[in-house]
Amino acid sequence: MGAAGRRGRIPFQGSSGPGRAARRRRAAAPRPAQPGCAGRARSGGTREDPGARPRVRRRSLSQRGGQERSPGRRAGVREQPRRGARRRARLARPAGRGGARVAARARCGHHRPLSAAAVAAHRRLARLRRRGCHFGSDAAACAVRGGVPVTPAASPRAKPLAGLRVIDLTRLLPGPMASLQLADLGADVIKIEDRGAGDSARTLGARGGETAPLFRLLNRNKRALRLDLKKAAGAGVLLRLAHDADVLIESFRPGVMDRLGLGYAVLAAENPRLVYCAISGYGARGAWAQRAGHDINYLGLAGVLDQIGAAGGPPVVPNFQIADLLGGAAAAVSGILAAALDARSSGRGRFVDVSMTDAVLSQAVFALCGLLARGTSPPRGGDTLSGGVPCYGVYETADGRYLAVGALERKFWSRLCEALGRPDLEAFHLEGGERGAFARAELAAVFRAHPLAHWTSLLEGVDCCVTPVLKIEEAMREAHFRERGTVFEADGMLQLGPPFRLSDFEFDASRAAPAAGADSDAVLGEAGYEPEEIAHLREIEVI
């Protein structure tokens, strides 16, 4: 039984065996067109169908014993059916443009005849497409409401990343956030911690002997294994696990894995399909590669921290780990999935080098636009999107709360000025300099006259891009987020769901964050270790 069978998991589609390109090459030899398939052959031949009926070679006249053709019949052309037969064929053919193709495939000698259920599904698909539903291969299963596809409430489809096995060696925030998104999509993520303190996120801000909320938020839907990689036996275990894995993520300083004898070259030799993702502050190569750092350092070196803050004031440290999350979640997940998709067809993995500083700098689009336009960086708090114009900024209310005004478009600004009873401010829409400062002061005085509740009530029905600045506890109570599943309760606490919604996919947090090494026996057993071998590894303090 293969490795996948031992583990009892579905292999990630296409992760082994010939890829799509190889199958196309095998099917490259052109075949003669068959009746009912006219105009359907692709250039370079058609893909072979393992379940197709065998081809029937037409016998020559001599092979048929001199039998002559029927009058009016040419070689390779069907006899014209009688009038009644043509009428019956028309009645039996599925409706719609898709139905014609279905009937043609059914007549063709290279396709299986379709069942009545399949024909009905094609009819529904054709009807939905005519009504504006273009939902890929799921169009036949979706309802249409005003031309917008609506996902069914329940779906039998597997999770998008089911069968993808991920080894997670990361700690704290960046790497665990990346592997969390993969786990939430169905990947089998095995979190590996050392036998000492393990991931420090377990105790960061924890009360008493409880596991910290940070660890519980970032490590749901994962399994856990403790492993001492500094021991030869521990390194051997990781090699064995990597042999059957699709992805490995680590966040050590560049060079650490090589010194352990577990660098990319070694693991790729063990498993050429492996996607190896290394997340670090400054990347695997470059003058800063060996520097230590945290989110604030990455923001500072990328020129982004300088842009955050009010005009005339110092840079402001955001309470949001921009570099950690752009690097750990966005950049790493994008690179991993791109490399994993390529490995499906090529059979070869890749080294994914993620720099959190690069991740921040690569997104500094508007700051760069200001530099290109003026030859110097925009002043802090003085650009269009940093509070330098009256229509885009934060204004205080009478009770010390704040409103976020984002009326960048003229129509929104006009509606806001009208609702406030200040049509005279409409001319100052995108003004900077002294005129902009005057308009901002006037608008600030208007908002300071009443509390937040007054303004939210007044502007509730006005389409002008003005919203309250909520506190985090208020955001967690918002019905909108609860309805979409962005905020939910699991493991006895509030949790945050995935940042996207997929059709035919119901997210669930079925597995709480594991205790350290909770799944060691199961994971090693799936890798082929016998119970006595696992006991020995525990005895010598490898697991």
Active site residues: 294, 324
Phi, psi of 433 (to 5 degrees): 60, -150
Residue 353's SS3 state is strand
Query: What residue type is assigned to position 376 of the chain?
Result: T
Do 191 and 168 form a contact (C-beta atoms < 8 A)? yes
Residue 279's SS3 state is strand
Residue 384 structure tokens: 């269009």
Between strands 275-280 and 247-250, the pairing is parallel
Do 443 and 395 form a contact (C-beta atoms < 8 A)? yes
Do 187 and 165 form a contact (C-beta atoms < 8 A)? yes
User: How long, in residues, is the chain?
Assistant: 543
Residues forming a β-bridge with 225: 192
Question: Could you please report the per-residue DSSP string of 328-340?
Answer: IIIIHHHHHHHHH
Question: Could you please report the per-residue DSSP string of 479-534?
Answer: HHHHHHTSEEEETTEEEE--SS--TT------SPPPPTTTTHHHHHHHTT--HHHH
Do 9 and 188 form a contact (C-beta atoms < 8 A)? yes
| Three-point CA angle 33, 37, 42, nearest 5° | 70
| Three-point CA angle 19, 24, 30, nearest 5° | 165
* Residue 231 CB-half CA count within 13 A: 14
Residue 436 structure tokens: 């902009």
Which H/E stretch holds residue 437?
helix 433-447
Residues 6 or more apart whose CB falls under 8 angstroms from that of 485 comprise 497, 501, 507
Residue 130's SS3 state is helix
